[in-house]
Structure 1
Amino acid sequence: MERNTAFGEVWADEGFLEREIVARPKQILSTFLNVPNVGVAICDEQQRFQMINSALAAMNGVPGETHVGRPVAEVLGDVAPELIEQFRQVMSQDAPLFFNISGRLPNREEVGHWVESFFPWKDSSGKISGVFALVIEVTREKQLERLLSSLTSLAAQSALQQLFPRIQDLVKAIMPDEQASIAIHDERASSLSVYPLTGEQYHSTSTRSFKLPIQETPFAPVLVGRESEVFNRSRLARNRSEFTRQMLEQGVQSLCCIPLVSQMGMLGILSLTSTREKAFDSGMVKLLEKVAWQAAISVDQVLLTNEILLLKSKLAEQTIDVEEDLGKEFMPEIVGNSSALKGALQQVKTVAPSDSPVLILGECGTGKKLLAATLHGWSRRAGQPFVRVRCSGPLEQLNRDLFGDEEQPGHIELAQDGTLFLDEVGDLPPAIQEKCLRIMERQPAGPHGSKGTAPLNVRLVATTRHDLARGVAEGKFLRELYYRLNLFPIRIASLRERPEDIPDLVLHFVEKFARRIKKLVPTVPDNTMNALLKWKWPGNVSELEKFLERAVIL
């Protein structure tokens, strides 16, 4: 077994290289020079091209015969100085040199990238007479790397319509002449929303999408198997849908389908059609799979962001409707382990045994209602009524709800010996504030429209999202009532102040809603959890809960 030979370090049987090269020199040289995508050239001591193969001539954008006899500097323009420096180093050191180079050639608009290998070229006497060069172009790979990077950064903040042109750039960098589209899978409707990335339809339609039932496409095997598939014309013809018939009429000879799979599941398909037979070899499919992998992650993030934004918009237009029967559930489950939440619960535990009024402060959706119910559950009045009063509403309605009338008792009377929960007390009209003050002073307050009175024994717990001290200063809230309610204030932090509670809340709500609709409890992928952690949740826990309820249903 030979290793170090006249041809360098090569592994071969004893005498094999000498016999074969002597017997078939032209065949071996021809085979070597015609390796696809590998450029080969020999230059003399004056850096003039003596020989060049077709692959390198194509890379340089100049016909092969135009190279021969011309200096490197004359043919390669701005790229030449660095090449000449490496050329001289190989000549002076009699040693090979391996390097990368980037630049713009005279006959090419875009910047190119190449991997170069230079070897000393010697004559029959052993004297160095030039340089033998092997060149592999990696421009496309560099473009893909850059585009993939830009796709990643864009995904977190873009709509699909902004994301798809970047995916289009990636596809065109690989296969500039083929037609491409992305089909987003709607599992509930058994349909696909198809977004053309290239072609006339991409440029001529405003929505740039259309819906198709899955059975009317050739994509079903890819959706089920989650593996890339290449269809030739005869296989496409077996799918007798209108969509496939139109493809065949347009001269499509081959179709490549790449699944878009993320941790959330099967998102859809990246598809490319070509009018060439065998347009998609295994190497091309693997390259497209890299694009599809990154596209799936990006689409997943965009869809999640859109869901959150949609929920935010809806919540801004409506009031969260909470259940009236809170009094039935004295010990609700408080989810979370943050120090902020634990501190609030510790305050509740401290004040619960007393009958002192408590004011719970916090933004909408933070869980003030649950904290109030927990306080009642830990108090000595736990076995007695816990009656909630919504403090926003017309004056007459609030009067009737709170104090009742001759025919129906009010909420205050219903809370006798228990807890009266004034939800969002800052919304109370001034006239109702005065009556609530009298309750706190243990003064009787009779039914609305009557002259009778009845002794009361209730504990007051109130919540507010407002700055009541400012309300007092502006004359909107009764000073005496504020001082009495504010005897033991407890503040519950917003969700953005305690993001460490989000994972526990997510798992709690996902399990809760999955069981409600008798569905298997889904796992929450890491990228989804990270997106939920990054969101500011202006609607706090209520917003998160509604979002997850919708997500589980879908």
Structure 2
Amino acid sequence: MSNILANEQIADRESERELLLSISTDLAAVRNHKELISVITRRLKNKLAFSHIFIGIVNEDQSTFSTFVTDPDSQSKGHPEYDEAIRSKWPINDGIMNKVSASSMPLVFNLEELSKQPDIPLYFKINYESGLNQVIITRFSKGGKVFGFWAIFFGGKDVLDKAGHILIAGLANQISITVSNIMANEKVISQLEVIKRYKKQLEEERIYLKEEIETSHNYSEIIGNGPEMQKVFRLVSKVAPSDSTVLILGETGTGKELIARAIHNNSPRKNSLMVKVNCATLPVNLIESELFGHERGSFTGATERRIGKFELANNGTLFLDEIGDLPLELQAKLLRALQEKEVERIGGKDSIKVDVRIIAATNRDLDKETAEGRFRSDLYYRLNIFPINLPPLRLRTEDIPLLAAHFIQRFSKKLGRHIDKISNSELQELRHYNWPGNIRELEHLIERSIILTTGDTITNIPLPSPKPKELNQPQQYSSLKTIDENERDHILTMLKYCKGKVTGDGGAAQLLGVPNSTLSSKMKRLGIKKEHFK
């Protein structure tokens, strides 16, 4: 009899050894959660006669664990608290898992006895209430450190003997290796996704910067010494260091984008992008995608995922040009993005947090637009935190000589011409023109004049003829000056622009187109001294 028992024990051990070897081969091919649960249930469910299994992983805090694998055929799946149980983080030091952590062998727990405890963990409670009576739990460890748990639930009691517990311990060693490999593989995949995402974002930024370089005017500075622009500069210097939203108001061509760039370049965000969106030039059906991005397949033509300008400007500045032209239906979505500091791509399910400073600009009267229902009042109040009004060129004529000289220098270099002066008569014409297109119009006229000029001095600027109704209107004079006063102001402006240089290359005399001696005598006659233009 004893020989028969011994032979049976030998046969059982041989069978278990073969099982461990064969299941080891199957586990070696496992690459994900689904394959893991498939191998465990297919190879072990009948052998161990369990109801279902659960695998949990210790979190980074080392004090809690979360679900890693659940059994799709779990008997407790219909319990109303099942979803909560598998989504939650659970403390390891609960009087049960801490015992498992300290044991090298699987531990058996009677669910009926556990249910009598007032603080029974929910994951045990739902299994007991689903008709299960016993659970065997063993730990997963690597390098002496516990990183997970394997719980096996049974409908009966004392289903496995000591040999069964030894078998579970051996299986746990193999399964722990597979779980560790899956975790490592998921970490690599996650890191590759992060790299891919950053690579995509860098490519988006590269494309954006390339477009900006190609389209930017590349002004080295904003030109303007008059009192109106000095007010603007003071406001810029006050608001730039903050994170406040800025609303730049002004007619077309007054330099709103330059002011926006000046604010950004003097802010703590200057090392990040300032991303521009022109709300007036984008088709209505593309503005939302441009601002918030879209997922692949979210609409016809969306062949790949694309991040929006909000995400591209993260940690930087988003410049919303011509904000007054934004359609009403998108104003609500923009308001939400500003309030919640998060966006949702078209076709996406998740909200994406963004840290963006907003600078908006418009040539419209937003008070009027709001009153007439074309612009949301709540969005207007959100944007109108720090308004900056840019003066039209007709109200800052004292800056026209400086602007003209700047454009002459720039376009002469660009076009390979040697033109460095403008005649006094033409300069006076520029000062008396109404400038409906403001600085942009002046810029284009100077470029055209340089192309048409044959010598080194611009003697004719093709100013548009005034419309008949403009001819009949009485001219408005803000102040009247004598010829000497006008000449004195003009010479002082040029001297300031030349940083006090009177003669030589780039000096005031050269720009004014007069001999050095003539300028010196005029300065003496008009009482212009060095302290006036330092």
Task: Place the TM-score, normalised by the shorter chain, in its bin.
Answer: 0.3 to 0.5
Q: TM-score, normalising length from structure 2? A: 0.42
Q: TM-score, normalising length from structure 1? A: 0.41
